[in-house]
């Protein structure tokens, strides 16, 4: 008996629409069938179907053009909010300046709420990014400018069960006031990808103590760390000093806010 092909959504968030020249052509080359949902978080511009088609993606498509700048977290929540009508099994997020190379979903246990894979990190040279855009499967890792992140821990590039994200969204909505207060005190961009990945783990294990992500040892994502973050939001991508320490401390605050909302929801039943 043949296994039913999973219904997949790729959620793409964008602010600087020029960056779609990086992500969309790569999505157009993926052989698996999926639906692309684009959330444009720049109210001064409009992303059109024609624009996406011209960049090389010809599959199923939905576009959300926001009326105001809501930020990356709320942009992703808007994609999750739009997804149930499409009845997806899995949702994968992609940044507008990154490259997704594959969205294969293996046959996994119901206890596996996410599929962790590997990523290539482009750190310094524009030439590396141009080569990746031309041929994403032929990249030389040198350990300095081009790094293999194995495994890639984060939400971008990681397939997550849609039902987990749907439930998690309700908890995030309840926690949003506390999350916004943490955001407002930061001088750097909130670490949304790591934050949401932590929340996925917390929520999945709350529902099912046996829930675990599974690891597939293959590269499916190319992350662009040439500093484009300042162009998007006018903030540093990370603190200038003691970046890891600051990030861990901030993530602990976000985790506490989410956990408090989750516990409150559990008490309400």
Percent of the chain with pLDDT over 90: 77
**pLDDT score of 232 more than 80:** no
Local confidence band at 228 (pLDDT 50, 70, 90 cut-offs)? low
Whole-number Å distance between alpha carbons of 217 and 230 = 32
Summarize pLDDT for 80-112 with one digit per residue, the tens. 999 999 999 999 999 999 999 999 999 999 999
The CATH class, in words, for 8-173+191-230 is alpha beta
Local confidence band at 1 (pLDDT 50, 70, 90 cut-offs)? very low
Question: What is the residue-averaged pLDDT of the chain?
Answer: 92
More confident residue, 168 or 5: 168
Average pLDDT for 124-131: 88
* Strand pairing class (90-95; 60-65): unpaired
Write out the H or E segment, with its range, that includes residue 216: strand 212-224
Of 1-5, 47-51, 163-167, 185-189, which range is least confident?
A: 1-5
Residue 244, class by beta-carbon neighbours within 10 Å (0-12 exposed, 13-18 middle, 19+ buried)?
exposed
Write out the H or E segment, with its range, that includes residue 61: strand 60-65
Domain-wise residue ranges, the chain: 8-173+191-230
Residue 5, class by beta-carbon neighbours within 10 Å (0-12 exposed, 13-18 middle, 19+ buried)?
exposed
Strand partners, 64: 39
């Amino acid at each position: 008996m043949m296994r039913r092909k999973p219904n997949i959504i790729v959620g793409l968030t964008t602010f600087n629409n020029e960056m779609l020249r990086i992500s969309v052509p790569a999505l157009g080359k993926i052989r698996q069938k999926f639906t692309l949902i684009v959330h444009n978080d720049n109210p001064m511009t409009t992303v059109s179907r024609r624009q996406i088609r011209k960049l090389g993606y010809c599959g199923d498509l939905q576009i959300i053009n926001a009326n105001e700048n809501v930020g990356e977290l709320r942009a992703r929540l808007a994609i999750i909010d739009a997804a149930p009508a499409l009845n997806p099994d899995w949702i994968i997020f992609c940044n507008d300046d990154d490259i997704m190379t594959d969205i294969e979903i293996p046959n996994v246990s119901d206890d596996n709420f996410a599929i962790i894979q590997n990523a290539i990190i482009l750190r310094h040279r524009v030439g590396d990014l141009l080569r990746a855009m031309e041929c994403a499967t032929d990249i030389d890792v040198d350990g300095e400018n081009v790094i293999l992140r194995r495994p890639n821990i984060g939400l971008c590039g990681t397939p997550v069960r849609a039902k987990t994200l749907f439930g998690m969204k309700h908890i995030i909505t309840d926690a949003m006031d506390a999350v916004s207060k943490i955001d407002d005190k930061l001088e750097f961009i909130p670490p949304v990808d790591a934050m949401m990945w932590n929340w996925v783990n917390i929520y999945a294990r709350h529902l099912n103590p046996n829930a675990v992500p599974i690891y597939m040892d293959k590269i499916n994502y190319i992350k662009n760390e040439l500093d484009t973050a300042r162009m998007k939001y006018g903030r540093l991508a990370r603190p200038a000093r003691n970046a890891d320490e600051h990030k861990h401390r901030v993530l602990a605050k976000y985790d506490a806010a989410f956990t408090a909302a989750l516990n409150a929801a559990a008490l309400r039943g």
